Structure 1
Amino acid sequence: MFWSKPCSLALPKDSPLRIDEPDYVGIRRFILKLMMFYSKQSMSIRGANVIYKRIIAQVDKPAIYDVFNLEKTFKITFSLLVLHMWLVLRRLKEDGQEGVDLGQYVYEIYNHDVELRVSKAGVNLLLAKWMKELERIFYGNVVAYDAALLPEAKPNELQIKLWRNVFSDDGTTTPDNTDLKAAQAMARYVRRELGSLSLTDKESIFSGNFSFTPLENMPL
């Protein structure tokens, strides 16, 4: 699984999944321009919301848990959310400061979503403390994944990081054959998505008109 070459993840122009900017005309467009609807900031925020929808679409579907033999718990869902945030933020950085700025909007939307998820999980007391800990985990994972892609990293470094961050309960247990196979498959998936995102044009990335590789009916 995931041995195929990376390819663009851009959605075709006729895809029903596309979310394009509304093309208003006449007085309505004039009024919206006055209201800064078409300002760079407003368009970036709308794009960031669509980008985050693509992340959530991949992370919340049952397929990703089935394919990688994962139980759908808060910890694992959060780990997958962080992983896909990293994939997107890394791609956005390829477009320089403009991409970094858009990534900040995506991160703010992510933060709000995580806070809602924590509250939904029943954590109402010490919410600020929980959010601070999840922020620490987020940046720790991002640093680990970046390090795993460095030229000097070991060939299986990404697999090890994924095992510790996603599959393992405490980051120290040794995987059995099933979990090891799943972690290896996820490492291939991550590398393929990185390559595919890099091949996806800037317009599709910035507007959120891309889709991660479908995982439905894909065996290990």
Structure 2
Amino acid sequence: MFRKLFSRKSDSDAVHDLYVCIITQAREKYFYQELSVPDSLDGRFDMITLHMFLILRRLRAENNITAEFSQKLFDLMFTDMDLSLREMGVGDVGVGKRVKAMVQGFYGRISAYEEALTQQLGTQEVASLETALDRNLYGTVDVEDATLCKMKEYVLKQDLILAQQDISVIMSGTVKFSL
């Protein structure tokens, strides 16, 4: 009993806690009510993907100490997706296909976001990020330019905020986002 009270968090506890932070931020009503993200299964997946991308991007900046942790976080996300599909009644045969499609969608989205954020050509970066968000996050709805601009600013702000957070704190399962 005392060992549990005074012991350091295990790696799996920290991964779980960080994942909960990501999910909590992705579920903020602000995104669905103010930034027109579709409040649907796809919209929620896209918000989780966006926040997971931002965290994985931050972790990758110090990959020499974060690679294993990042992999565990990724694995937890898709274990959670698998369980969520099963809870929604998707049969065993269908779950594997749906999770595979989700993984492919995840990789496509993070690739587009990464490319957009790493471009070095001034205003082209802004246009590229807006294009990536429009195509991926808002792909099923029409979004006003002003709303798309607000989402772009949110992503850029989170990227900066995460870059300023100590990697050991993030790997302890604590991260701070902003709205």
TM-score, shorter chain, exceeding 0.5: yes
Amino acid at match of 1:158: L
Name the counterpart of 1:53: 20
Deviation per residue, 1:104-160 (Å, 9 max, x gap): 111111011111222334322411111111110000111111111222582310111
Structure 2: which 5+ runs fail to align? none
C-alpha separation between the residues in 2 aligned to 1:179 and 1:45? 41
* Two-structure CA RMSD over aligned residues (Å): 2.3
Alignment length (residue pairs)? 175
The answer to whether the 8 A contact 1:163-1:183 is kept is: yes
1:156 matched residue in structure 2:
127
Taking the TM superposition and a 5 Å limit, the aligned residue runs for 1:54-93 are: 54-93=21-60
Which amino acid in the other structure matches residue 98 of structure 2? Answer: W
Structure 1 segments of 4 or more deviating over 6 A?
A: none
Per the normalisation by structure 2, the TM-score is 0.87
Q: Distance in 1 between matches of 2:106 and 2:165?
A: 25
* Whole-angstrom distance in 2 between the partners of 1:67 and 1:207: 31
What is the 5 A alignment of 1:130-145? 130-145=98-113
What is the distance in 2 between the residues matched to 1:162 and 1:123? 28
Indicate if the aligned counterparts of 2:162 and 2:176 stay in contact, CA closer than 8 A: no
Aligned mate of 1:206, from 171, 174, 178: 171
Checking the alignment, whether the CA contact within 8 Å between 1:89 and 1:100 is kept in structure 2 is no
1:27-47 per-residue CA deviation (whole Å, 9 max, x = no partner) reads x43x999xxx76xxx722111
Aligned-residue sequence identity (percent) comes to 25
Q: 2:10 aligns with which of 37, 40, 43?
A: 43
| Alignment partner of 1:109 is 2:80 | no
Q: For the Cα contact (< 8 Å) 2:15–2:69, is it kept in 1?
A: yes
Q: In the alignment, residue 14 of structure 2 is paired with which amino acid?
A: G
- Alignment-mate amino acid for residue 171 of structure 2: F
- Contact kept, 8 Å, 2:13 with 2:173, in 1: the verdict is no
Could you tell me how far apart the structure 2 residues matched to 1:163 and 1:121 are? 28
Distance 2:135 2:63 in 1: 30
**Residue ranges of structure 1 left out of the alignment (5+ in a row):** 1-23, 216-220
Structure possessing the higher radius of gyration over alpha carbons: 1
CA deviations over 1:190-211 (Å, ceiling 9, x no partner): 0110011000112221112222
Q: Partner of 2:17: helix, strand, or coil?
A: helix
